[in-house]
Amino acid sequence: MAKIAKFAPKRRAAKGCPICGKPSAAAYRPFCSKRCADIDLHRWLGGVYRVETDETPEEAGLEGGKAKAESEEDQ
């Protein structure tokens, strides 16, 4: 009979906080503290993390583009 080998699941390497590099805390994973988590949230809300594109807001289907198009139709 053939032996069946059991493999342990791969564990992710412990990485530091993406903001400051310190070891991450379980309560704020992947960050080390609430401060670093808040810094990251501010970056998201401020538009620092974004993907550049050639699309205009109308092509992307954003609400601002729709409202502008609707107001132009009313005139």
**What are the sequence ranges of the domains in the chain?**
15-50
DSSP state of 33: S
Q: Which amino acid is at 75?
A: Q
* Confidence (pLDDT) at 31: 97
Who wins on pLDDT, 19 or 66?
19
Report for 9-13, 28-32, 56-60, 61-65: range of highest mean pLDDT: 28-32
CB 64 within 8 A of CB 57: yes
Per CATH, the homologous superfamily of domain 15-50 is Erythroid Transcription Factor GATA-1, subunit A (3.30.50.10)
Grouping H, G, I as helix, E, B as strand and the rest as coil, residue 40 is helix
Place of tokens 């594109």: 53
